[in-house]
Amino acid sequence: MLLTGLLLFLTVWFAILGTAIVRFAGRREPAVPPLPEPLPRVSILLAARNEEAALERCLLAIRALEYPSQLVEVLLGDDASTDQTAALAQAMMQDYPGSFRLIPITDTMGEARGKANVLAHLARAATTDVFCITDADIAVPPRWLQGLLSRRQGTVGIVTGITVVDGPRLFDQFQGLDWLVSLSLVQVVSDWGRPVTAMGNNMLVTRAAYEATGGYEVLPFSVTEDYALFRAVLDRGFTSRNIFAPEVLAESLPTATFGQLLHQRRRWLRGVEALPWRLQVALTVYAGIYPALLLLGFAVDPVAALAVLAAKMVAQGVLATLAFYRVGLRPPLRLLPLFEFYTVGLTLGLVAFRLLPLGFTWKGRRYS
């Protein structure tokens, strides 16, 4: 009975991953229509809290955008920073040929808190019909705005690009592999007509879609503010687009420590818990591979467990290769054996976060 159950589970697991690989290998990014003429004005919304170590890289990337700067306004919300974030931003953008405004965030707007509160203020201050949102630890690519804007047609209210972690350490590279493989699975599900989420560090939302939700000030507070806005936009009858292409590939700084990574992923887990139940079941099955392997190894046959683990690594290697090549990057296949230890440690840490009454800290603020 145990062996039958394990075989059934593993069959389902590999069927899910195999289907994702086939779908991802066969997908083609739809032809990109030309941008409308005249080109639209765009507001870049950037929330910052104690970001002096990361902000210069972010703003240099914004200054290097290949989009007419006179059509860009950059709004940076300083969320009660206690470091030199504001001074650095002013110095970096003082001769910016487009429009730049530093907006101190001193009060809360409606239900909004944290980053959502900053974005609520920035959206109110914006003077365009297109909001492009990123984070202070992100470097966007030169044709980022063209990539997002070109998918804004018809009923599309929200467009999201992809983000990869970039850094020199082995721990940083694990995060980069984790992000891109995960986003490839998100892309497959989205292509299937089951939109999953938007990336709050790399997304476009139209003013019409944003205002139809009432804005962050009326949305229920969530530490995954991007998912809350994404769901609200879809609930108002708008559609979304996910793009898996080099022109919208943003680079994120890595989290510095494993503890910080756990806090980040615990925050994301709040968004996962709000997904439709079918997607939650699929994610639970996908995450259940390690318990199944342990059970197979200790209760049935350790050699069989090692063989299944090897098959899992090969399958994930295929998906990783497809995902990295699709955005013009070289896949770090040499990391795959050690990546298993990273994944196990992260999974165990998140289980502890979920089962124990632990809060988490984000940007110096504690959430339950």
> What is the tens place of the pLDDT at every residue in 216-232?
999 988 878 898 999 99
One domain for residues 131 and 14:
no
265 lies in some domain = no
One domain for residues 21 and 80:
no
One domain for residues 22 and 87:
no
280 lies in some domain = yes
- pTM of the full structure: 0.92
Residues of the chain predicted below pLDDT 50: none
345 lies in some domain = yes
CATH number for the domain spanning 157: value is 3.90.550.10
One domain for residues 104 and 225:
yes
One domain for residues 212 and 284:
no
CB burial of 241-272 (b: ≥16 within 10 Å; e: otherwise) equals bbbbbbbbbbbbbbbeeeeebbbebbbbbebb
> What is the tens place of the pLDDT at every residue in 7-39?
888 998 899 899 999 999 988 877 777 887 899
Q: What's residue 218's pLDDT?
A: 94
Total domains in the chain come to 2
Residues recorded for the chain: 368
One domain for residues 142 and 49:
yes
Q: How far apart are CA 28 and CA 30, in angstroms?
A: 6
261 lies in some domain = no
One domain for residues 303 and 228:
no
Domain that holds residue 13: 2-27+275-353
Q: Are 241 and 329 in contact (CB under 8 A)?
A: no
285 lies in some domain = yes
Q: What's residue 111's pLDDT?
A: 85
One domain for residues 23 and 46:
no
One domain for residues 48 and 93:
yes
One domain for residues 12 and 113:
no
Q: How far apart are CA 258 and CA 299, in angstroms?
A: 31
